């Protein structure tokens, strides 16, 4: 196992970009800067695919070695899980990995391809993740609901489930806002009443409107109306609503969930 881990780590350091690392650490404040190697996302994805092609013996030991020492190892771990083709095996790996996810970038990169073919089985884990009480597990659950259940398999009741989430954690609240902003783009008539009726907490309400107004998928007429739903806020509240954007809004379109989001640079 140690040999497998060392080989993978050597490969990660071979692709180290120190300037990229220095920029990257500014976007992930919950991560120890010393744990960031600075490997760009395309290289991580390519490495994951190479390891999968080489067979599980090339990376199985790496997946078992948790927690990882480096942020980039967590990113690679997420990409390896995404390549798993067996739904049950993939779900088991996700469950084992989630307790070690400690930042928004790794959380949002974790997007298993096989989930697309197993929507009905996926709902039960999603509700469990959302009820977990863990910041990044909740965020992941809402993210999966957003990615897989705002199109053909959408049900209005899903909006109620997400609206019921109450948390003071920035990375949970931001994901809830992101979910509703995306819902406005895809299921406008179903999502709009949640703003009209004030069913979200004030911070999330404001952030949802902000993100929706920034979206190219919302029509100009819709944006004009959404702006009328903004709450009057104190100067302090405005600062709080805008806080943390540099941490998260470094997200790229390639990180999965929304084509409108800027990104962790590649």
The DSSP string of the chain is: -HHHHHHHHHHHHHT--HHHHHHHTTT-TTS-GGG-----HHHHHHHHHHHHHH-GGGTHHHHHS-S-SSHHHHHHHHHHHHT---HHHHHHHHHHHGGG--SHHHHHH---GGGGG-HHHHHHHHHHHHTS--HHHHHHHHHHHHHHSSSTT--HHHHHHHHT-----HHHHHHHHHHHHHHHHHSHHHHHHHHHTT-S-HHHHHHHHHHHHH-TTS-HHHHHHHHHTPPP--HHHHHHHHTTHHHHTT--TTSSS-TT---S--
For tokens 């199109």, what's the residue? 151
pLDDT of residue 247: 46
pLDDT of residue 3: 87
Question: What is the chain's pLDDT, residue by residue, as a tens digit (266 residues)?
Answer: 678 899 999 999 999 999 999 999 999 999 999 999 999 999 999 999 999 999 999 999 999 999 999 999 999 999 999 999 999 999 999 999 999 999 999 999 999 999 999 999 999 999 999 999 999 999 999 999 999 999 999 999 999 999 999 999 999 999 999 999 999 999 999 999 999 999 999 999 999 999 999 999 999 999 999 999 998 754 444 555 555 454 444 443 333 334 344 344 44
pLDDT of residue 2: 75
Contacts of 155 by beta carbon, 8 Å cutoff, 6+ apart: 149
pLDDT of residue 231: 83
For tokens 């771990």, what's the residue? 77
Largest Cα separation within the chain, whole Å, is: 60
- Angle between helix 202-214 and helix 235-242 axes, rounded to 10 deg: 60
**Residue 240 CB coordination number (10 Å):** 15
Among 40, 104, 130, which residue's Cα sits nearest to residue 76? 40
Distance CA 114, CA 77 (A): 16
pLDDT of residue 255: 36
């Amino acid at each position: 196992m140690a040999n497998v881990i060392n080989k993978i780590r050597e490969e990660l350091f071979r692709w180290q970009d120190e300037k990229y690392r220095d920029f990257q650490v500014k976007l992930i404040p919950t991560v120890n800067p010393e744990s960031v190697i600075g490997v760009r996302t395309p290289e991580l994805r390519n490495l994951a695919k190479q390891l999968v092609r080489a067979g599980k013996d090339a990376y199985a030991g790496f997946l078992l070695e948790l927690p990882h020492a480096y942020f980039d190892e967590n990113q690679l771990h997420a990409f390896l899980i995404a390549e798993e083709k067996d739904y049950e095996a993939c779900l088991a790996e996700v469950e084992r990995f989630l307790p070690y996810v400690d930042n928004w970038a790794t959380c949002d990169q974790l997007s298993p391809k096989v989930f697309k073919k197993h929507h009905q089985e996926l709902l039960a884990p999603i509700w469990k993740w959302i009820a977990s009480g863990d910041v990044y597990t909740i965020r992941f659950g809402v993210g999966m609901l957003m990615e897989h259940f705002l199109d053909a398999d959408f049900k209005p009741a899903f909006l109620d489930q997400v609206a019921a989430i109450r948390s003071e954690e920035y990375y949970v609240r931001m994901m809830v806002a992101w979910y509703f902003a995306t819902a406005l783009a895809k299921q406008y008539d179903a999502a709009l009443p949640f703003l009209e009726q004030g069913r979200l907490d004030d911070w999330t309400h404001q952030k949802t409107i902000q993100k929706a107004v920034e979206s190219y998928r919302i029509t100009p007429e819709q944006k004009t109306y959404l702006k009328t739903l903004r709450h009057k806020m104190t100067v302090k509240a405005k600062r709080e609503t805008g806080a943390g954007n540099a941490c998260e809004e470094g997200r790229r379109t390639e990180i999965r969930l929304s084509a409108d989001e800027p990104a962790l640079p590649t």
